[in-house]
Amino acid sequence: MLSVVVEMAELRLEVPAELREEIRKLSREIDFEALLFKSLKHCMEVELKRELLRKIASKSKLTEEEALKLGDELKEGIARRHGVL
């Protein structure tokens, strides 16, 4: 079992035996504690951004079709700016 302690919170992760053996083999090369922390932080940031987008979208007066069209126009503009189109 891997444990990560961040301030007062503790996270315990149960790892299947076959994966645990792979972790032991790679543990000299990879800092799994740091990797798990970065992964968890990234996932939380993504979920917070999704929640913010949901809140913004819930107040929008655009139809789904209008929003998709606007998104396509934005993507095209960014692609042109970066020389992709």
Domain with 7 in it? 2-81
What is the pLDDT at residue 27?
79
What is the pLDDT at residue 42?
95
pLDDT mean for each 10 residues of the chain (85 residues): 65 85 84 87 95 90 92 95 89
For residue 40, the tally of other CB atoms under 10 A from its CB is 14
| The two three-digit tokens of residue 5, written as one number | 């302690």
What is the pLDDT at residue 12?
82
What is the pLDDT at residue 11?
76
Q: How many folded domains does the chain comprise?
A: 1
